[in-house]
Amino acid sequence: MTPRFSGRLALQQRVLPNYRTPFFDMLAQACDGGMSLFAGQPRPVEGITNGELRISKYAAAHNIHILGGPLYLCYQQGLIDWLAGWDPDALIVEANPRYLATPAAVRWMHARGRKVIAWGLGGGNSLYASQSRWQNFLRQFDALIAYSQRGAKEYAALDFPPQKIFVAYNAAASRPASMPRRHATDSEKQLTVLFIGRLQSRKRVDSLLRACAEIPQPGPRLVIVGDGPERANLESLRRQVYPSAEFIGAKHGDELKPYFAQADLFVLPGTGGLAVQEAMANGLPVIVAKGDGTQDDLVRAGNGWQIEPENYAALVEAMRAALSDPMRLRKMGKESYRIVSEEINLEKMVEVFIQGLNSLK
């Protein structure tokens, strides 16, 4: 049974991306006093699709975006008014020193004897904030929740008490009900490689097209699901390097099921993208580029390959190794399913958040 938080929860986010709404609603369901989420609009260049909450209450922030790139800052107008109106027993904020209104929100809560948890990727590596700035920023919080073990170690290295650091593995998929049925393994069958995600340059789908062309003939069937600003360029590249690649367009929810069912291997050659967890929940082995540390917890030798980002040779080598042994791929897919079923899923993530909240009493 999922533990519960007896009070009223407030949760601050810069934006409300669509992929986070299932988690926020599940967390709200575990709060006896309900939950209100405060978030604003992304910058137009970010390509973030706003989500729609069903259980948690939504309060609109007015995000003021300052500068850009490594100097980006954000001030959220209305934060204190929201806190005063919702009157929460606890507050969770993003652990990001770029968000200028956060210290005032922490002071407001502490002045009323209430606790604040910060939730983030880790700290100490930002061009914007020095180590001492990170330490001063983190010192104001009563506990921290890290996305990954790597993030937790970074917070501990900044002298935050380890006993007040919790690890909620970054999840986008619920605990699967049962292992999906897959087609029979056939060493003579053309294997299917699947990519799902927004088609933008940082996803390196161009590298995936080129890598497929280097696999011995007949090569894999490559299925690319998604849309975005790079689609026209990628379709042009397909005609030059891998004409058989299939561009399906954007699909969501149940529309993705047949593509997962047909696939033998999921590949995410660039940064970002939580579709890897959904692929694992569907019993697929994965190849992913290393990133913020969440991949370290998800992808292991037993269920896939982690490659250095922008390392094309490593991508080709991993794909050759993966596609050379269909039986091994099937075993790795079963391990992917086990990891998402038992260790890294939305239900486990909510449990850790509630554990962190209840530790503050």
Categorize the per-residue pLDDT at 184 as very low, low, confident or very high, splitting at 50, 70 and 90.
low
Q: Is pLDDT at 48 greater than 60 in this prediction?
A: yes
Which amino acid belongs to residue 25? D
C-alpha dihedral, 287 to 288 to 290 to 292, nearest 10°: -140
Categorize the per-residue pLDDT at 179 as very low, low, confident or very high, splitting at 50, 70 and 90.
confident
Crossing angle of helices 346-358 and 21-29, rounded to 10°? 50
Backbone angles phi, psi at 30, to 5 degrees: -90, 5
Categorize the per-residue pLDDT at 169 as very low, low, confident or very high, splitting at 50, 70 and 90.
very high
Query: Higher pLDDT residue, 69 or 224?
Result: 224
pLDDT the model gives residue 310: 87
Categorize the per-residue pLDDT at 41 as very low, low, confident or very high, splitting at 50, 70 and 90.
very high
**Looking at residues 197-204, what average pLDDT do you find?**
90
**Looking at residues 300-318, what average pLDDT do you find?**
94
| CA-wise closest residue to 265 among 201, 219, 217 | 219
SS3 content of the chain, % helix, strand, coil (to 5): 40, 20, 40
Q: Is pLDDT at 290 greater than 70 in this prediction?
A: yes
Q: Is pLDDT at 328 greater than 60 in this prediction?
A: yes
pLDDT the model gives residue 144: 98
pLDDT averaged over every residue in the chain: 92
**Looking at residues 150-161, what average pLDDT do you find?**
94
Which of 44-48, 217-221, 343-347 bottoms out in mean pLDDT, i.e. has the lowest? 44-48
Which of 34-43, 45-54, 152-161 bottoms out in mean pLDDT, i.e. has the lowest? 45-54
Map out the domains of the chain with their CATH numbers.
Answer: 9-171+345-358 (3.40.50.2000), 192-342 (3.40.50.2000)
Q: Burial of 199 by CB count in 10 Å (0-12 exposed, 13-18 middle, 19+ buried)?
A: buried
Q: Is pLDDT at 267 greater than 80 in this prediction?
A: yes
Categorize the per-residue pLDDT at 187 as very low, low, confident or very high, splitting at 50, 70 and 90.
low
**Looking at residues 144-164, what average pLDDT do you find?**
94
**Looking at residues 114-133, what average pLDDT do you find?**
83
Query: Higher pLDDT residue, 94 or 125?
Result: 94
Sign (positive or negative) of CA dihedral 166, 167, 172, 175 = negative
List, for residues 126-149, the tens digit of each pLDDT value: 656 678 889 999 999 999 999 999
- Terminal-residue alpha carbon distance, the chain: 21
Categorize the per-residue pLDDT at 168 as very low, low, confident or very high, splitting at 50, 70 and 90.
very high
Q: Is pLDDT at 76 greater than 90 in this prediction?
A: yes
| CA-wise closest residue to 16 among 47, 50, 43 | 50
DSSP 70: G
List, for residues 205-240, the tens digit of each pLDDT value: 999 999 999 998 889 999 999 998 999 999 999 999
Q: Is pLDDT at 316 greater than 80 in this prediction?
A: yes
Categorize the per-residue pLDDT at 50 as very low, low, confident or very high, splitting at 50, 70 and 90.
confident
pLDDT the model gives residue 183: 64
Query: Higher pLDDT residue, 122 or 129?
Result: 122
